[in-house]
Amino acid sequence: MAETSLDPISYPAAATAPTPKTSKKKQALITWQPTINNELNGDERGWERRTGSNPAPFAAAFRPENITFSDGIMRLLLNNNGCPVRCDGRQYVAGEYRSTEEPYGYGYYEARLKAPKITGAMSASFFTYTGEYGKKNHHEIDFEIFGRDTKVVWLNYFVEGRGTENQQHQQSINLWFDASEDFHNYGFKWTETELAWYVDGRMVQRVTEDPNTPEREIPFAPSKIMVNLWPGNNSPKMIGSLGQYVGQSGAAEYDWIRYSTLADAAAATSGQPASTIVAPLSATVAPPAVEMVEVELPPPLSEGELAALRIAAAALGTPEPATTITTHKLVTLGLASTNFYGFNRGTVKKNNGTYVFSAAGGQNPGFGIFVNNLVLQGQKKLTFKLAGEIKGKGNLVVQLYGNDQFKPLAIRENLVPDGEISVNLGANVERVKKIQFILRDNNGNCELRISDLRFE
């Protein structure tokens, strides 16, 4: 079970509250160059405006039209425009903005936002999320502001679906300001053993893992970064928490969203380059440099040599040799070409072009490598060298993905670390976005080295 090692901090009335600082950088948790820096200026690479809806208690559908960008500010709108026709039968429509990928794991997260006063609504949020609510694959870390009282922020987290029934992890923090009057910074630090929430750079709550209990109480699954606002459905439970919603319109405003890996944070404070980059591709991450190598095959045979081969082939009853030879290209993944990340307690480092993947006890640990929608030019397989040890009976799997993150382009299972391995891509694969290795085991344990990755 988790241990709350710091009592929730409630600041008193304004007369004795800390004096707010004026510098955005000084008030922030992330004061170094973040790994991901979304300035919300309309460049939506790596992000999306959601189309869809959630079940009760959500009383609004989410539509892209309810998200706008202007003057460096993103606004999530709540109204009833076009409802119920374009609102999945709901009376209201709102905005939800989220990352398109979910490799975001341990690190620092922060958003600068201003919440509207809308009784009955979750008027602003900033959170990570993965899985299906309340199920084993559900992990979540939350900042939430209820529009009925914008001088309070609510913190929450869920691990393997636990925490959903009675909201036992939910905690309210009295702010020293009104969140509806100006922009403020809301962030959290997430590690394997600790969750710490910050407001304007000040820690307001901290939870630590207890290693002596069987269940893990700190989220550990890579997730999407999300923000939204929405009205409650006026059920007794929602009225008790959010208040009664009477149809008020409004907008949650966001200045920026940032994420930093633990490695980049350590590098910023030490002055040394990060040895492990745990980041998805985004507008702030340089695309991989792909090395194109022309592989020259032997020159064509002379007419005399071909004639001699035809005679020999006819005598043996075998087909004639080909008279043309095609030159192919080889794509290798250069030393600085990729972004990568570990998940489910799997860790990965890169050393001179070799990915060193380790796991010790996680459920289905693995790691992914982004190759930035690499365009293939006739290559039909992925080849790499695999060495090291799989401890136990785990099934090591490699998967290749395109734009559909749920449907692999190609897959090969039961990999054995004893040499070179190839994965056939099929005739219609033209682009590859991600390569992912997973050790399917409830208690995955391995020490592996993957090197010489190339498309042929």
The answer to whether residues 199 and 318 touch, using CB atoms and an 8 Å cutoff, is no
Element (H, E) at 423: strand 419-424
What the chain holds in terms of domains, given with CATH numbers, is 3-261 (2.60.120.200), 331-455 (2.60.120.430)
Give pLDDT, residue 346: 80
Q: How far is CA 185 from CA 25, 67, 445, in A?
A: 10, 20, 39
Instruction: Give CA–CA dist 432/332, Å, rounded.
Output: 13
The answer to whether residues 90 and 84 touch, using CB atoms and an 8 Å cutoff, is yes
Residues contacting residue 246 through CB under 8 Å, at least 6 positions apart: 119, 120
Give pLDDT, residue 47: 94
Q: How far is CA 284 from CA 67, 74, 150, in A?
A: 22, 18, 32
- Burial class of residue 155, CB neighbours in 10 A (0-12, 13-18, 19+): buried
SS3 382: strand
Residue 55 corresponds to which tokens in the numbers above?
A: 């079940």
Burial 391-420 (b: 16+ CB within 10 A, else e): eeebebbbbbbbeeeeebbbebeebebeee
Instruction: Give CA–CA dist 350/451, Å, rounded.
Output: 10
Q: How far is CA 211 from CA 2, 188, 216, 454, in A?
A: 9, 21, 8, 41
The answer to whether residues 160 and 139 touch, using CB atoms and an 8 Å cutoff, is yes
Q: Is the peptide bond before 116 cis (omega within 30 degrees of 0)?
A: no
Give pLDDT, residue 434: 82
Element (H, E) at 93: strand 92-94
The answer to whether residues 104 and 223 touch, using CB atoms and an 8 Å cutoff, is yes
Instruction: Give CA–CA dist 380/455, Å, rounded.
Output: 7
Q: Looking at the annotation, which residues are catalytic?
A: 140, 144
Give pLDDT, residue 321: 41
Give pLDDT, residue 430: 82
Give pLDDT, residue 174: 95
SS3 309: helix
Three-state SS sequence of 34-87:
CCEEECCCCCCCCEEECCEECCCCECEEECHHHEEEECCEEEEEEECCCCCCCC
CA 293 to chain centroid, in Å, comes to 32
Element (H, E) at 313: helix 303-316
The pLDDT tens digits along the chain (456 residues) read 443 333 333 333 332 233 333 345 458 999 999 999 999 998 888 999 999 999 999 999 999 999 999 999 999 999 999 999 999 999 999 999 999 987 799 999 999 999 999 999 999 999 999 999 999 999 999 999 999 999 999 999 999 999 877 677 899 999 999 999 999 999 999 999 999 999 999 999 999 987 777 888 899 999 999 999 999 999 999 999 999 999 999 999 999 999 999 988 988 876 554 433 333 322 233 333 333 333 333 444 455 555 555 555 555 444 444 433 333 345 555 433 456 777 777 888 888 889 999 988 777 888 888 776 678 878 889 999 999 999 988 899 999 887 655 578 888 999 999 899 999 987 778 888 888 899 988 888 999 999 999 888
CA angle 66, 78, 130 (to 5 degrees): 75
